[in-house]
Structure 1
Amino acid sequence: MPRPGLGCLLLPLPLLLLGVYAVFGTELTFELSDNDKQCFYEELDEDTKFDIDFQVISGGNYDVDCFITDPQNNVLYNEQKKQYDSFSHTTAMSGVYKICFSNEFSTFTHKTVYLEFRHGDEQPLLQSMTSVTALTQLESSCVSIHEILKVVGESQTWYRLREAYDRTKAEHLLQRVTYWSIGETVLLFVIGIGQVMLLRSFFTEKKGSVAATT
């Protein structure tokens, strides 16, 4: 006879998949060159909610321009020199929506940008959960596990971004320290050679003056 808790451990996986595929999302990291602009397009239906999160991981002052337009080129979002931000909107019409990132204000530094785009409403794990009846213990456990997994996924994404950001800052700092150390080493050699040459010139002049007097 199976243990009473085994069914609750085996069932959540297919149940959770019902909720995962109800929301469509895309995560990507892309390079944005100096004096460059990149746009992304997504066709959405009317009354569809979408969410956007972006963050500049590396490059310059870690900022970028971003704007979003609807199918009629109405500006829904327009921010300049943002390091990170989030935006949510419910579409008023069907069509292709455009998301653009611009680095045109930068003349010599390229940026690395992380973008997450989600659209659609999350459906309940089971159709029975939409009714007014109370959830069973199994359904409540599945919903709790689903919510915890969502929080875990968001936390992992945040930690990955922080790790990439901190690693880039550390590599940039290491590069600056290396160049500074090389410069100091060269400067020490130049000063040392200059001091030796200066001391030799003192003795050479003194020896020449003594020979002239004799």
Structure 2
Amino acid sequence: MWTLLSLFISCLQLYLINAYEFTFELPDNKKNCYFRLIDKGTESKFEFQVISGGNYDVDLTINGPGERGKELVLFSLRQKQFESFKWISNISGEYSACFNNEFSSFSHKIIYFDWVSGEEETFGGKHPGPVNHPLTMMESASETIHDNLNEITEHQTHYKLSEASGRIFGEELNNRVTVLSLSETLAILIIGVGQIVVLRNFFTDKQGGR
């Protein structure tokens, strides 16, 4: 279990052209915020999932710059396991995503999130936009393969998260069953020894009475 946890806690923080994804541990009674600069008119997508810990829930608030320098709350959720948002920034500035686990007094959470801003570069490093010349068959095929690979990567990420969440839940359940079984075994031994002692004392008293 610890190997799997350390694998996700030390998961690569991947900085792509316009996106990054991160897996981190959020202790109980703690709050973590992540920031990035986004230009006006940029479309952004934020997705998160609680992999393990407690009831698999966390509070999330996404903030952005407002008028006169005030911070504006774009989205706010309470005790959710996973969610996905899309928005277009009206103002250029610093945006933040804050995860809050202050409602939990003992459960650490492991959380994955993916934050994409803007359009991804096309295959070959060219930015999307109007093309001045028709694409060749090779370029068109490359674009299609590139899009399909991106989609496959996204599906693989979700499958890995689901597998990790199920694995951790299974191991926690196994530990609980093991502890419960040991407790029941110990209780049976104590009750058995107690019954033997009581019966022995009972017959000893009778023999003494004669």
Match of 1:29 in 2: 23
Distance of 1:140 and 1:70 partners within structure 2 = 38
Q: Is the 8 A contact 1:48 1:90 kept in 2?
A: yes
Alpha-carbon RMSD across the aligned residues, in angstroms, is 2.0
Q: Which structure features the higher share of helix residues?
A: 1
Larger radius of gyration: 1
Mapping for residues 74-153 of structure 1, pairs under 5 Å:
74-125=72-123, 130-131=130-131, 134-153=134-153
Alpha carbons of 1:205 and 1:52: their partners in 2 closer, same or farther (altered >3 Å)? same
Higher mean alpha-carbon deviation, 95-104 vs 117-126, is at 117-126
Mapping for residues 127-206 of structure 1, pairs under 5 Å:
130-131=130-131, 134-206=134-206
Distance of 1:38 and 1:148 partners within structure 2 = 34
Q: Is the 8 A contact 1:124 1:130 kept in 2?
A: no
Q: Secondary structure at the match of 1:79?
A: strand
Q: Is the 8 A contact 1:24 1:119 kept in 2?
A: yes
Query: 5+ unaligned residues in a row in structure 2: which ranges?
Result: 1-14
Distance of 2:85 and 2:209 partners within structure 1 = 83
Q: Secondary structure at the match of 1:74?
A: strand
Letter in 2 for 1:95: G
Q: Is the 8 A contact 1:46 1:94 kept in 2?
A: yes
Q: Secondary structure at the match of 1:81?
A: strand
Task: Give TM-score scaled by structure 2 length.
Answer: 0.84
Distance of 2:186 and 2:18 partners within structure 1 = 56
Deviation at 1:124, TM superposition (A): 3.8
Letter in 2 for 1:206: K
Letter in 2 for 1:62: Y
Distance of 2:134 and 2:60 partners within structure 1 = 45
Match of 2:48 in 1: 54
Q: Is the 8 A contact 1:23 1:118 kept in 2?
A: no
Deviation at 1:67, TM superposition (A): 0.6
Moved over 6 A (4+): none
Q: Is the 8 A contact 1:22 1:123 kept in 2?
A: no
Match of 1:7 in 2: none
Alpha carbons of 1:128 and 1:53: their partners in 2 closer, same or farther (altered >3 Å)? closer
Q: Is the 8 A contact 2:34 2:98 kept in 1?
A: yes
Letter in 2 for 1:70: G
Match of 1:42 in 2: 36
Task: Give TM-score scaled by structure 1 length.
Answer: 0.83
Q: Secondary structure at the match of 1:96?
A: strand
Q: Is the 8 A contact 2:119 2:128 kept in 1?
A: no
Q: Secondary structure at the match of 1:130?
A: coil
Q: Secondary structure at the match of 1:34?
A: coil
Query: 5+ unaligned residues in a row in structure 1: which ranges?
Result: 1-20
Letter in 2 for 1:115: F
Q: Is the 8 A contact 2:51 2:110 kept in 1?
A: yes
Q: Is the 8 A contact 2:39 2:91 kept in 1?
A: yes
